Structure 1
Amino acid sequence: MEIRELQWFTALAEHEHVTITAERLNISQPTLSRAIRRLERRVGVPLFDRHQNRLRLNKYGEVFRAHALRAISEVSGAEQRITALIDPDTGTVALGFLHSYGTWLVPDLLAGYRRLAPGTTFELRGDAADAVVDDVRNSRLDLGLTSPRPAGDDVEWTPLRDEALCLLVPPGHRLARRRRVRTAELADEAFVALEPVFGLRQITDRLCAAAGFVPRVVLESTELSTLRALVAAGLGVAVAPLTGSPSGPGDHAVAVPLDDPQARRTVGVVTLAGGPRAPVVARFYDYVRSRAHAPHV
């Protein structure tokens, strides 16, 4: 059953005359008649009562017309929505990102892009790195801002900039007034950390492994804001992005730079291999990549 046959049927139901309807549809009478007979064979009953050259919609036809009109309306609505989604100026981009990027990276990108394409809308979703990449793989997201580089050749990841990592310690901690600290000095510390599915936790584990120890994680969280609060409460130390981290003694956690060349995470944008196909997504993707290595992405 084709949508055009439903459209022909509803037109015939309105005019109840094959010749007039065929002329208005710009098709031949035999083509229209065959299409109606196919519909009737499919539903198993006549949809019209025939009276010489005239047709009269019967009770089965009335039922079928009501559903045909809804089907045509749904398809038309879907076409309009898809057109809006792919329009490079007024479409929608589904963007995922790590929660911590929601406080600086995402607002900066969207503010800059809205000046270029004010009609573009965004569906925003903050999540863990693995979840963002998984949603891109399954087309639930168009693009993702994540770290570290995801594994697999089914996605492509473009690095944008490096973000320095620091050590968060409670006020009054033995390392709070240090200018820098080496990762190896933390072997005996209690750590608070994000759960293992988060990219920052994976980087933390690698830093500690490279320094020759496994971090003793006493508390796990799913949000950086909670992580900072746990450190400020004296429950442990944590590795966190230097962006947005407090830097001086007081009621908050204290950020101390890490003296380790690997103490950084590379921010990147991930999409399906081959790049985005929808024009609206491709345009924003190109903009994001054009901002790579900018002082403020």
Structure 2
Amino acid sequence: MEIRELQWFVALAESEHVTSAAERLNIAQPTLSRAIARLEKRVGVPLFDRQQNRLRLNKYGEVFRAHVVRAISEIDHAEQRIATLVDPDTGTIALGFLHSYGTWLVPGLLAGYRRIAPATTFELRGSAADAVVDGVRNGRLDLGITSPRPAGEDLRWTPLQDEPLCLLVPAGHRLASRRQVGTADLAAEDFLALQPEFGLRQVADRLCQEAGFTARIVMECTELSTLRTLVAAGLGVAVVPSTGDASAQQGRAVPVPLTDPGAFRTIGVIAPAGGPPAAVVARFYEYVRSTAGTTEA
């Protein structure tokens, strides 16, 4: 089978009309008809039901199309990977990261790298920590920027920087005027938090446990911006990154620094244990690692 003929088959399956498909493909109608006949002879069954001037995929054709679409996609992906091995400045990188990093860390990294390799393109996917880690493990993501460090030996982790955490309280809260506060002072508070799969939630839970209590969580959400808005509405307090932008709350939420030694989350980049296989990814990976304020663990 020729790749070209498989592509013609997909086009005909979409149009269900030989004449229109041939015009779209800029080939003669008999040429297309002969190609489909060769495919049907090869697989041993008709792929279309003929209905007057139209064709409709039958059950064999539906199965064949599903596999053909995947085959064409795999070949396209292979060509792209080979191209990136030849030229590390071109190609696409699938980069996963925590949602909150999309407001400050990721834009800075990409802006700096675009000055070095403007031909590189990115697929950006903000998600929870577990989803980012799973994406790199399963090959859906080339690299991930996340916190905390993932468990297991199948990923390579490079810490980049420590991000301080603070307590966000509603304006008028008893702690709003404090210059700083320890987590041990918060045992009686109603907490607002991200869901357990988020790295920030895991760090906040650890801080409370180290302070000798389990946080009383009254609401969970999936967005840091929502978490800040809930605090501003007076629904509870929350542990959030100090680097976050609370300006949208117009003074209705007040950040108070935390004094606990562990009141930070370490931001790191993750890659497969063997390193990125594609040159375009490897080059960006080394660029991100070069921005680290610490050495690889």
Structure 2 CA distance for aligned equivalents of residues 137 and 284 of structure 1: 18
Instruction: Give the AA of the match of 2:274.
Output: G
Q: Secondary structure at the match of 1:156?
A: strand
1:111-260 equivalences in 2 (<5 Å): 111-246=111-246, 251-260=251-260
Aligned residue number for residue 50 of structure 1: none
| Structure 1 gap segments, 5+ residues each | 8-58
Q: In structure 2, what is the equivalent of residue 100 of structure 1?
A: 100
Q: What residue identity is the alignment partner of 2:38?
A: F
Tell me the secondary structure at the aligned position of residue 122 of structure 1: strand
SS of 2:231's equivalent in the other structure is helix
Identity %: 65
The C-alpha deviation readout for 1:122-145, integer Å capped at 9, x for no partner, is 000000001100010000000000
Code of the residue aligned with 2:269 in structure 1: it is V
* Deviation, structure 1 residue 64: 2.1
Helix, strand or coil: the match of 2:130? Answer: helix
* CA distance in structure 2 between the partners assigned to 1:285 and 1:200 by the alignment: 24
Q: Secondary structure of 1:110's match?
A: helix
TM-score by length of 1: 0.74
Q: Deviations over 1:246-283 (max 9, x none)?
A: 48x95431100001110000000011112111100000
> Compared with structure 1, are the counterparts of its residues 195 and 288 closer, same or farther at alpha carbon in structure 2 (3 Å cutoff)?
same
Determine the C-alpha separation between the residues in 2 that align with 1:268 and 1:230.
28
Aligned residues: 238
8 Å contact 2:228–2:246 — kept in the other structure? Answer: no
Higher Cα Rg, which structure: 1
| Counterpart Cα distance in 2 of 1:62 and 1:97 | 45
Question: Displacement of 1:67 after TM fit?
Answer: 9.5
Aligned to 2:280: 280
- Alignment RMSD, CA only? 2.8
Residues 78 and 154 of structure 1: CA distance in aligned 2, closer, same or farther (over 3 Å) = closer
Alpha-carbon distance between aligned partners in 1 of 2:197 and 2:274, rounded to the nearest angstrom: 26
Q: Distance in 2 between matches of 1:231 and 1:169?
A: 6
Which residue number corresponds to residue 64 of structure 1?
38
Unaligned residue ranges in structure 2 (runs of 5+): 4-32, 43-64
